[in-house]
Chain A
Amino acid sequence: MLYEIEGKQLFKDSKIPVPRFKAYTDSDTIKAFAEELNSNVMMAKGQALSGGRGKAGLIKKVTTDEAEDYIQSILGQNHKGKPIDLVMLEEPLEIEKEYYLAVMLDNTSGQYLILASSRGGVDIEDIAENYPDEIFRETLPIFTEPFPYQFMELGKKLGFVARTLTQFTSLMTNMVNMAIKNDLTLIEINPLILTPDKKIIAADSKVVIDGNAYYRQPKIASLKSQRDRHTDLEYEADEAGISYVQLDGEIGIIAGGAGLSMATCDLLEFFGSSPANFLDVGGGAGDIKIEKSLEILSNQDIKGIFINFFAGITRCDDVARGVINATKKFNIAVPVVIRLVGTNDKRGIQILDENGIKAYGEMVPAAKKIVELVKGGN
């Protein structure tokens, strides 16, 4: 997901109308923006990657005099585990009506899906529950090249007429093109606003990019949001090509493969403990990645480590070497249990054995053992 201000910049670049906005840097920004608007009233909006900003008091209409104090009061405020460190200033809008609009790459159909409703400004889930007949769905083929006429019917269903209708069809066209061009899996505008002078403007933005497409979307990949969506340890792992998710349990995990890593987390819970993380080193990981994984875990507050490999592409001797190197370099003061089978497992087990570490061949006894060691240590 992108920050609202990043999404709005993309909207602007894609010719989707947005209110005038500016990123806050210091009190001079406020003055300059007031001059630009020719008004002493503006919106100040704390930027966050999780929703509920309005309820948390992170969005407020302020005068030029109030703006600095308000912004200082929200900077650093914790919003769902992350401190606010980015604020945008925005032109306030007069609202005649609010709409909901989304374009997404639909996982079930594999096509672009458009969702639209004339009941915007509330969660789509709420609209779906209370007014299911007032959400319109349209599917666009994945190989589509959108034209405005394709959205005429949808625009009429939403109640647009004359000038607002053509504004809508061109906005829709630009929105679909934006999704295609930038490898976005979701663009949500909620609310889309109709102003009293009959202009349609995107008042908010929720944009999600496909991480697999980073290589051909370098501009989006380097946005602040793409760094901030990870915790520090998650970011460190991501940079090393390791899939890691921080959890709040007691046993750290290193596994090969996403499914096995998830099943490993589940198994610890099944035996009465809990996972401190999800960690998949990925197929074909060498000793360096294993070492890096242990370094990441050594920075987490955990009571034990469970290493679980059923090696296909990965080689067990690489895993063993990575483990041994890591124990020499990092301070690993908690019990470690290793389960190792698959490609080159005999060699791997031998390397561990030479260093006084016993490897398990099966997952269940190994999981039981680490839980026992962790619980016994209490």
Chain B
Amino acid sequence: MAILIDETTKVIVQGITGKQGNFHSKSMIDYGTKIVAGVTPGKGGQETLGIPVFDSMKEAVNDTQALASVIFIPSKFTYSAAMEAIEAGVQLLTIITEGVPVKDTARIRQKAIDNNVILVGPNCPGLITPEASKIGIIPGEICSKGNVGIVSRSGTLTYEIIQNLSINGLGQSSCVGLGGDPIKGIGFNECLMMFEQDPQTKYIVMVGEIGGTGEQEAANLVKKEITKPVFGFIAGQTAPPGKQMGHAGAIVHGKSGTAKEKMRILAEAGIATAETPGQIPSLIANNL
């Protein structure tokens, strides 16, 4: 089962002829993702990587009936590309692009909510269901199929954790990178609920960081609704207040957004938190 995507999910790549879009489309195809179309305005009728290219999302969706799309488009043009995807009827929209203006993201988010579209990102690595499909840029070779669901605000840190789990024989059901921006699509709670309902997932790992209140909201949900064991890690324990740590959303304002405070709140909700990413496999093993 897994969540959000499987081997049957048909995917359209917006920006398929761009450098990043093309490179990662190839990597997705190699992994087994069913990419059925690409969109680049002005290049309709061409082909790349054996995939037909369309001028617009409307044409691509009409022709392929795909309901998922992924955006590899420069931040200046992401707003329009996302609006186009939602209006064309896509149901799962993933935005990899970094540096999208916050106002644009807030508008995309609202449009997605109004149209019942699941939005992942922006500024995220995407998602993967090992041995089935991936949308985005998570390296497939570090993943293995299993029963740990991962949801994370980070990219490379997630790879670190996935690899640690795989090496220790703990495969994954699905991994979702939510993205590092202050306003974004789905958050921890949506993913926790999906993992709770997914029969393949037995354990859930959530990787948070400083800034925002997503981890606190997740802790509340875990107390009330999540029956599966949840494990956590929070990055940014050494981050000073008021400074943005790479991700636009990773900034401590006052006391509530600190790593220490978040770890305390997670622990209070019965979530075992690791002090280093390397400790997560043993935390899970202790629970087996």
Partner of A258, one of B180, B182, B240: B180
Q: Are B248 and A211 in contact (CB under 8 A)?
A: yes
Bound form: Cα–Cα A363–B280 in Å = 14
B110 at the interface (CB under 8 A from A): yes
Bound form: Cα–Cα A364–B277 in Å = 9
Q: Given A212-B102, A213-B102, A283-B98 in contact, is the A312-B139 Cβ separation under 8 Å?
A: yes
Q: Are B163 and A310 in contact (CB under 8 A)?
A: yes
Partner of A312, one of B102, B107, B155, B245: B155
Partner of A262, one of B163, B209, B212: B209
Taking chain A's interface residues, is the majority helix, strand, or loop, or is none over half, making it mixed?
A: mixed
Partner of B158, one of A213, A215, A259: A259
Among A19-27, A164-172, A267-275, the one that faces the other chain is: A267-275
Total interface residues on A, CB under 8 Å, equals 52
B103 at the interface (CB under 8 A from A): yes
Q: Are B247 and A258 in contact (CB under 8 A)?
A: yes
Bound form: Cα–Cα A216–B77 in Å = 12
A185 at the interface (CB under 8 A from B): yes
Q: Are B239 and A258 in contact (CB under 8 A)?
A: no
A252 at the interface (CB under 8 A from B): no
Total interface residues on B, CB under 8 Å, equals 57
Among B85-93, B219-227, B230-238, the one that faces the other chain is: B230-238
Q: Are B244 and A245 in contact (CB under 8 A)?
A: yes
Q: Are B183 and A259 in contact (CB under 8 A)?
A: no
Q: List 4 A-B pairs, minimum CB-CB distance, nearest first.
A: A259-B154, A258-B246, A257-B156, A259-B157
Q: Which residues of B contact A (CB under 8 A)?
A: 20, 75-76, 98-103, 105-107, 109-110, 125, 137-139, 152-160, 163, 180, 182-183, 207, 209-210, 212-213, 233, 235-240, 243-250, 254, 259, 275-278
Question: Can you identify 28 A-B contacts, CB atoms within 8 angstroms?
Answer: A107-B183, A110-B106, A110-B110, A110-B183, A142-B107, A142-B110, A143-B107, A216-B76, A243-B244, A245-B244, A247-B238, A255-B156, A258-B246, A259-B152, A259-B153, A259-B156, A259-B158, A259-B207, A262-B209, A263-B233, A265-B236, A265-B238, A265-B239, A270-B276, A278-B246, A280-B245, A363-B277, A364-B278
